[in-house]
Chains A and B, each alone.
Chain A
Amino acid sequence: MLRGTNCINRVALAENRLPRLVEGIDLKALPLGPADAFVLSCIDGISTEADIASASGIGLDHVQATISRLIGLGVLIVAAAPEQVKRAPRPRSNSNSGQFAMGAVSEWVVRIEHPGAALYDERELEEAVDIEPARKRRILDMYYRLDALNNYEILGVPTSADRRAIKAAYHEIINVVHPDRYYGKNLGSFKSKLERLFQRVTDAQDTLTRADARADYDAYLNAGKSTQDLERQLNDEEAYARELDAVRARIEAEAQRAANTPVPGHVSSAPPVAETPRAPQTPTPPVLPASAPPGRPPPSKADADARRRALARKLGFSSPPPAEARASAPPATIDPTSARERATLDLKRRYELRMLDARRRQAQEYVTRAEASVADKRLVEAVNALRIAVSLIPDDPVLRQRLEDLQAEASRELADRYLEQAEYEEREHHFTEAARSYARAIAGKATPRMHERLAFCLLSAQGDVKQAVEHARKAVILTPNDVKFRVTLARAYIAAGMKESAIGELERASALAPTDDTLKEHLRRARRGEF
């Protein structure tokens, strides 16, 4: 039902162009730098300048300047991306599921405003019914988008709309979709469509005009959205690969620039990084003297600062150079045959040292960013940043451990969100959904109560009985003295046809709560075989 909610409504920027590649241009023939190439690699005909800036971490100014330059070179053309149109229609083949989901809402906005782009078969407009064509169009437009829209979208109101505005919007829509508007008219297949539309918009307005229901719904919507965003970000391999490519490009660029300076590989003299990452750039902490021996056990969780310092030390050249770099350096035993070869070799070695240097600096950068994100409680960002750092310095155990810890923490956070979602769904009696959310929550952080609730929801949704038994059992094993847990387990046993076990469980529950008459009645009936 919330299929449309995992979309990010990005803030529309005053200037937000939508660049597209000009086909048939030989890029190799053009005077392009790595930064240009990187920006070019981000252009997919879907992403606007703002999208590219946020996805790449390059500042918007920089992206805009680069794109302007590329337009000047004739590599790109630009379609204006007006405020409302956040996504232009695009070839399907280009889309992956993540991006597609992101586009869904805005796409709807676009289409509602340009009814030409229809989701329905144009032939449906030709059905001979007593409805004027413009209205038919509007009805079909709404009807075929029903499932993708949340309650706000279906009423066409912003999430900030007050009760009055919601009602006004509702009244406007029902004047189109209420079957009484067409009393005695021939409606054909439109009749059932109108009824479904009417029901859906009515449900939406009922929820949004009741303060408590709306608050719950909003919380649910936000939780669902942020959970999905988080989950997507956490597993966004494409963004990770993109970021990694960008970092590698930067490393390369840096190493090349450094090659022009007389003292390669010296950190402090390296020119500033060309592409400024968009994330707030914390200055790299000064490298501390190696007071602690390298390879000490990972620092305790409690002291984030100490850990950051330790990591900084670790990366700050106190550890041996990464194996990868060593391996790629030519073995010293080879005796070069000529001076020219020696010079080439030397050049190569110096270049690789610069690469290593640049790589370390970048890794350091990402570690800093990751720890800043941790401090801001933005775990997913931290995980993603640290992943990049680990990819750059793959054989650092401290870094790896830290990444694993953070990943575990992020999935715990995700679990908390799923738990919230599950509780809402359970309250709203959407047991199937609730069971699903509980299961996800348990995957990140399990408590006996969550097991019990999952079992309960599965039973209420007439779901998988075996699973219900399993989870109810877990809850009871973990908390043997909870009457409610045992009753749920008994219910699960009954559902599974395990009558003896059910009676046994009810007996134990009754022993725990000797004054509970309802329980006694249950037990009596269970013993008589009445389930």
Chain B
Amino acid sequence: MERVIGIDLGTTNSCVSILEGDQPVVIPNRGGYKTTPSVVAVTEAGKRLVGHIAKRQAITNAENTVYAAKRLIGRKWNSPQVKNAILTSSYSIIEGPHGDVRIKLRDKTYSVPEVSSMVLQEMKIIAEDYLGEPVKKAVITVPAYFNDNQRQATKDAGAIAGLDVIRIINEPTAASLAYGYGKDFDRTVAVYDLGGGTFDVSILEIGASGVFKVISTTGDTFLGGEDFDARIIDWLVNGFQQEHTIDLRQDRMALQRLRDAAEKAKCELSSVKETEINLPFIISTGRNEALHLQRTLTRDTLEKLTDDLVERTVEICRQALEDARLHVDEIEDVILVGGMTRMPAVQAAVAEFFGREPNRSVHPDEVVAVGAAIQGAALIQDRHDMILLDVTPHALGIMTFGSNFEELIPQNTTVPTSRTKTFTTSRDDQTAVKILVMQGESKRATDNELLGEFILTGLRRAPKGHVEIEVAFEINTDGIVSVHAKDLETGQAQSIQVTATSGLTADEIKNMMATAQDYLVERRSDEQFEGAKQEAETLMAEIERMFPEIERVVGTADFGRDAINKARSTLEKARAAITAKDTQAVKQQVEQLQRTQRMFKGVVARG
């Protein structure tokens, strides 16, 4: 039996796990650590470094060391998140050829999935060293709130690393699998996952029969431990500026040291009340005189610096409950995931909001990888004792006439799922439509994430509203979207599997949307037509049935022949209207048919 590893590809740290028999094992790296920093560097000699070794040399090689690539994966160059990352990163982020993001290391540029693939490859090697055999298949986790572009990009990263990614699953869901695996639970739980770069809350029902069903999921893909670090860095930089009027941000090496010190201080303050940050020779004044940074940070100060961040997570918890239509009392356990949940202020806020002490039975750094391994094993084994039902974190739809977002699959719909809607052309003689596939919660299409687009051509020339196009959305168990559009009349069809990563610039999107207006469809329900058609067909069948009798009764008389001919032409017209799918015409013919039928009935009754 082939084995599947579970990889938690984190913002700051990654972790790999596998099921040995029934027991999940977290695989340590060569240094004996169970987690590996998600850090990639290229040395002066052009050598690639990954993990602890890359992190250790970061200070001396800050410009060529990539931290937190996960924050950039599947993002577009013009997104505010990327703009923000450019400001705070010690490495250089540049625009790629498709409006996507590239990272420059030494003289080479790398796409973000490439950088992530280096981390994944490292995790693969760690597992292979431990197992003594090659590993091909993996389940990789992503934040629940990742959109489709980010998921696809992660899957691509896996492929680049030589892994067959059999499933992408959500981090909080994975955590719940590890929590409920092998236990005969029947309860509703909340997973609070505050990682290095992202925050997710999922509400799940765990059934005694091994069913894990996500009820709702929500989050913020730009809220995590790094933001807490940034607050400490700001505090240090501002203090230093006041004292020495020197901006440490201008010095990339200083910034890297500050980053390390801030993270270390933050971690220490989870167990002690105060800690000293001591960075001698942080910067040179240029007159051969070095300045030192030395400050004491207390837990109270840290909490004051970050209380709005903690409050934001609580707000998101509230949203998740609301989406799940549950009251806080109905949550029977709270699982904490992610290194940041070691922070006492975070634990206190969670305990206060949910009105109960959070569960401490799972390891916040390892639980996600363990869950991924469990899911991997459950998929390939024939013995099925667990099934995972996840939801789509964002609504999916297309842009319709007037830049409206027409939702096909609502947020928090259990996947796999598919929905179909019929649209019509929005202009006369329109021979092509452009389907813009979007994801998001806004009614205005432009506020949502564009996932992809395609054009359906070869439509019949007709007045607007007369050509019907069926659009079908499908989300598979990976949460990956495919869209099909079909001209109902000609059977002409187009589809895409939404493949992301080839990000577009905001301008490109804008232009595309502007030109797309000409191609767009309008929504229409065809039920009216169906109703009229049915009514007409019933009447037609009945009239047909009466013909012989009518012929017998009045067939010889002139007026009788006229009536019969008129009836036949009515039938003809009704048939034509049905073929033309013209609702209005069918309705008119229904009236005619009713009249004919009444007349026939009268004749038969008299005859």
A residues lining the B interface (CB < 8 Å): 167-168, 171-172, 174-175, 178-181, 183-184, 195-196, 198-199, 202, 206, 210, 212, 431-432, 436, 461-464, 531
Report if B152 contacts A (CB, 8 A).
no
17 A-B interface contacts by CB (under 8 A) = A168-B209, A171-B211, A174-B211, A175-B209, A179-B416, A180-B477, A181-B387, A183-B166, A183-B380, A195-B416, A198-B416, A199-B416, A199-B418, A432-B527, A432-B528, A436-B531, A462-B522
B189-223 residues at the A interface, CB under 8 angstroms: 205, 207, 209, 211
Q: How far is the CA of A101 from the CA of B527 in the complex (A)?
A: 21
A439 → chain B closest CB, angstroms: 11
Q: How far is the CA of A168 from the CA of B325 in the complex (A)?
A: 20
B591 → chain A closest CB, angstroms: 14
Report if B564 contacts A (CB, 8 A).
no
Report if B523 contacts A (CB, 8 A).
yes
Once the chains bind, are A199 and B524 in contact (CB under 8 Å)? Answer: no
Considering only CB atoms, which chain A residue lies closest to B583 in the complex? A464
Considering only CB atoms, which chain A residue lies closest to B530 in the complex? A432
Inter-chain contacts of A183 with B (CB < 8 A): 166, 379-380
A178-B389, A181-B387, A195-B417 known; 11 new pairs, CB 8 Å cut-off, are: A167-B205, A171-B209, A171-B211, A179-B477, A180-B387, A180-B388, A181-B384, A461-B527, A462-B525, A463-B525, A464-B528
Report if B414 contacts A (CB, 8 A).
yes
Inter-chain contacts of B417 with A (CB < 8 A): 195, 199, 202
Once the chains bind, are B325 and A462 in contact (CB under 8 Å)? Answer: no
Once the chains bind, are B418 and A462 in contact (CB under 8 Å)? Answer: no
Once the chains bind, are B389 and A184 in contact (CB under 8 Å)? Answer: no
Once the chains bind, are A171 and B524 in contact (CB under 8 Å)? Answer: no
Q: A184-B379, A199-B417 are in contact. Are A463 and B384 (CB under 8 A)?
A: no
Counting chain A CB atoms within 10 Å of each CB, which of B379, B416, B523 scores highest? B416
Q: How far is the CA of A179 from the CA of B416 in the complex (A)?
A: 8
B residues lining the A interface (CB < 8 Å): 166, 205, 207, 209, 211, 325, 378-380, 384, 387-389, 402, 414, 416-418, 477, 522-525, 527-528, 531, 583
Inter-chain contacts of B416 with A (CB < 8 A): 179, 195, 198-199
Inter-chain contacts of A432 with B (CB < 8 A): 525, 527-528
Inter-chain contacts of B379 with A (CB < 8 A): 180, 183-184
Considering only CB atoms, which chain B residue lies closest to A170 in the complex? B211
A259 → chain B closest CB, angstroms: 35
Q: How far is the CA of A196 from the CA of B378 in the complex (A)?
A: 22
Once the chains bind, are B527 and A167 in contact (CB under 8 Å)? Answer: no
Inter-chain contacts of B528 with A (CB < 8 A): 432, 463-464
Inter-chain contacts of A464 with B (CB < 8 A): 528, 583
Inter-chain contacts of B583 with A (CB < 8 A): 464
Interface SS of chain B: mixed
Inter-chain contacts of B389 with A (CB < 8 A): 174, 178, 202
Q: A175-B384, A178-B389 are in contact. Are A461 and B525 (CB under 8 A)?
A: yes
Inter-chain contacts of A172 with B (CB < 8 A): 209
Counting chain A CB atoms within 10 Å of each CB, which of B388, B418, B527 scores highest? B527
Inter-chain contacts of B527 with A (CB < 8 A): 432, 461
Inter-chain contacts of B414 with A (CB < 8 A): 199, 202, 206
One of A168, A174, A184, A195 near B387 (C-beta < 8 A)? A174
A521 → chain B closest CB, angstroms: 15
Q: How far is the CA of A431 from the CA of B528 in the complex (A)?
A: 12
Inter-chain contacts of B384 with A (CB < 8 A): 175, 180-181
Considering only CB atoms, which chain B residue lies closest to A213 in the complex? B325
Inter-chain contacts of A175 with B (CB < 8 A): 209, 211, 384, 387
The 3 closest A-B pairs by CB, nearest first: A183-B379, A171-B209, A462-B524
A182 → chain B closest CB, angstroms: 10
Inter-chain contacts of A168 with B (CB < 8 A): 207, 209
Q: How far is the CA of A433 from the CA of B166 in the complex (A)?
A: 41
Inter-chain contacts of A180 with B (CB < 8 A): 378-379, 384, 387-388, 477
Inter-chain contacts of A178 with B (CB < 8 A): 387, 389
Inter-chain contacts of B523 with A (CB < 8 A): 462
Q: How far is the CA of A184 from the CA of B402 in the complex (A)?
A: 43
Inter-chain contacts of A462 with B (CB < 8 A): 522-525
A443 → chain B closest CB, angstroms: 15
Counting chain B CB atoms within 10 Å of each CB, which of A199, A436, A531 scores highest? A199
B70 → chain A closest CB, angstroms: 26
Considering only CB atoms, which chain A residue lies closest to B386 in the complex? A180
Inter-chain contacts of A202 with B (CB < 8 A): 389, 414, 417
Inter-chain contacts of B325 with A (CB < 8 A): 210, 212
Considering only CB atoms, which chain B residue lies closest to A192 in the complex? B418
Q: How far is the CA of A431 from the CA of B523 in the complex (A)?
A: 13
Inter-chain contacts of B402 with A (CB < 8 A): 531
Considering only CB atoms, which chain A residue lies closest to B531 in the complex? A436
A104 → chain B closest CB, angstroms: 18
Q: How far is the CA of A199 from the CA of B418 in the complex (A)?
A: 8
A291 → chain B closest CB, angstroms: 44
Inter-chain contacts of B166 with A (CB < 8 A): 183
Inter-chain contacts of B418 with A (CB < 8 A): 195-196, 199
Q: How far is the CA of A531 from the CA of B404 in the complex (A)?
A: 12
Considering only CB atoms, which chain B residue lies closest to A196 in the complex? B418
Considering only CB atoms, which chain A residue lies closest to B412 in the complex? A206
Q: How far is the CA of A181 from the CA of B389 in the complex (A)?
A: 12
Inter-chain contacts of B211 with A (CB < 8 A): 171, 174-175
Q: How far is the CA of A183 from the CA of B387 in the complex (A)?
A: 11
Inter-chain contacts of B387 with A (CB < 8 A): 174-175, 178, 180-181
Q: How far is the CA of A463 from the CA of B583 in the complex (A)?
A: 10
Considering only CB atoms, which chain B residue lies closest to A172 in the complex? B209
A157 → chain B closest CB, angstroms: 15
Q: How far is the CA of A531 from the CA of B417 in the complex (A)?
A: 34
Q: How far is the CA of A461 from the CA of B525 in the complex (A)?
A: 6
Once the chains bind, are A167 and B525 in contact (CB under 8 Å)? Answer: no
Q: How far is the CA of A96 from the CA of B112 in the complex (A)?
A: 66
Considering only CB atoms, which chain B residue lies closest to A530 in the complex? B402
Once the chains bind, are A171 and B380 in contact (CB under 8 Å)? Answer: no
Q: How far is the CA of A230 from the CA of B179 in the complex (A)?
A: 53
Q: A180-B379, A181-B387, A184-B379 are in contact. Are A167 and B522 (CB under 8 A)?
A: no
Considering only CB atoms, which chain A residue lies closest to B325 in the complex? A210
Q: How far is the CA of A198 from the CA of B477 in the complex (A)?
A: 11
Once the chains bind, are B207 and A171 in contact (CB under 8 Å)? Answer: yes
Inter-chain contacts of B207 with A (CB < 8 A): 167-168, 171
Considering only CB atoms, which chain B residue lies closest to A209 in the complex? B205
Q: How far is the CA of A431 from the CA of B421 in the complex (A)?
A: 13
Q: How far is the CA of A436 from the CA of B387 in the complex (A)?
A: 40
Counting chain B CB atoms within 10 Å of each CB, which of A171, A180, A431 scores highest? A180
Q: How far is the CA of A66 from the CA of B469 in the complex (A)?
A: 61
Q: How far is the CA of A210 from the CA of B325 in the complex (A)?
A: 8
Considering only CB atoms, which chain B residue lies closest to A212 in the complex? B325
Q: How far is the CA of A369 from the CA of B387 in the complex (A)?
A: 59
Inter-chain contacts of B380 with A (CB < 8 A): 183-184
Inter-chain contacts of B477 with A (CB < 8 A): 179-180
Q: How far is the CA of A199 from the CA of B389 in the complex (A)?
A: 11
Considering only CB atoms, which chain A residue lies closest to B522 in the complex? A462
Q: How far is the CA of A212 from the CA of B416 in the complex (A)?
A: 25
Inter-chain contacts of A171 with B (CB < 8 A): 207, 209, 211
B390 → chain A closest CB, angstroms: 11
Q: How far is the CA of A122 from the CA of B33 in the complex (A)?
A: 58
Q: How far is the CA of A292 from the CA of B229 in the complex (A)?
A: 98
Considering only CB atoms, which chain A residue lies closest to B375 in the complex? A180
A383 → chain B closest CB, angstroms: 24
Inter-chain contacts of A463 with B (CB < 8 A): 525, 528
Inter-chain contacts of A167 with B (CB < 8 A): 205, 207
Q: How far is the CA of A432 from the CA of B418 in the complex (A)?
A: 20
A205 → chain B closest CB, angstroms: 9
Considering only CB atoms, which chain B residue lies closest to A183 in the complex? B379
Q: How far is the CA of A61 from the CA of B56 in the complex (A)?
A: 93
A163 → chain B closest CB, angstroms: 10
Considering only CB atoms, which chain B residue lies closest to A175 in the complex? B387
Q: How far is the CA of A167 from the CA of B325 in the complex (A)?
A: 17
Considering only CB atoms, which chain A residue lies closest to B388 in the complex? A180
Considering only CB atoms, which chain A residue lies closest to B424 in the complex? A462
